[in-house]
Amino acid sequence: MINWTHATNLTIIIILYMTVLVNGFACKNPSLVQADDFYFDGLRMRGNTSNAVGSKVSLVTVEQVPGLNTLGISMARVDYEPGGLNPPHVHSRATELFTVLEGTIEVGFVTSNPENRFITKVLQKGDVFVFPFRLVHFQRNIGNTNALAISTLSSQNPGIVTIANAVFGSKPDISTDVLAKAFQTSNEVIENLQFKF
């Protein structure tokens, strides 16, 4: 015979602790949600740009803010030192709307095959630029002061594929001769790049 009291308690326990994943992240039980699930204080400070490219992207995605799940939006703070570069990358699941808050930033993206047209612009404080879905794009601080930008992205989990890291820094390495042929250069040049990444 089924003990219904026991079954009901079990159902409640399962509902409370069950995690339904949406796009890889847990959907919380609405009754357990707190203000902090919708909150992030990680953009108060300037990002640390002491690295090889002189820029730092601080993300606000579903990873930082669980309350963003399923809502189709995220953002990032991007800090640049003079000459700092946010290197060529793509977002697998998002178009990006990029706004300059401080400084002078050169931006660009490249359209798809066969044209591979390079679309580029120099942005001033207050200017906005669009990086369409999945196209390779970058930003570079061409001023002599620090620069700051805010990006908004049309996914709670936009995905970032940095071209150099994906091509030359994969684990394990893509065969050197595959890349030498693809980039029409020598194995030595490719090995040097693979060593860096």
Ligand X SMILES: *[C@@H]1O[C@H](CO)[C@@H](O)[C@H](O)[C@H]1NC(C)=O
Question: Rule CB under 6 A: which residues touch ligand X?
Answer: 48, 50
CA nearest to 62, candidates 45, 86, 44, 38:
38
In the complex with ligand X, which residue's Cβ is closer, 46 or 121?
46
**Closest CB to ligand X among residues 49, 151:** 49
Size of the chain, expressed as the number of residues it contains: 197
Question: Nearest distance from residue 188's CB to ligand X, in Å?
Answer: 29
Q: Nearest residue by C-beta to ligand X?
A: 48
DSSP states of 34-55 as a string? Answer: -GGGG---TTSSPP---STTSE
166's enclosing H/E stretch is helix 163-168
50 versus 184: smaller Cβ distance to ligand X: 50
Between 3 and 50, name the residue whose CB sits nearer to ligand X: 50
Cβ at position 51, least distance to ligand X in Å = 6
Distances (CA, A) of 113 to 70, 110, 169: 32, 9, 24
Min dist CB 48 to ligand X, Å, is 4
Closest contact distance (angstroms) between CB of 53 and ligand X is 12
Residue 134 backbone class (left: φ over 0; alpha: ψ -120 to 50; beta: rest): left
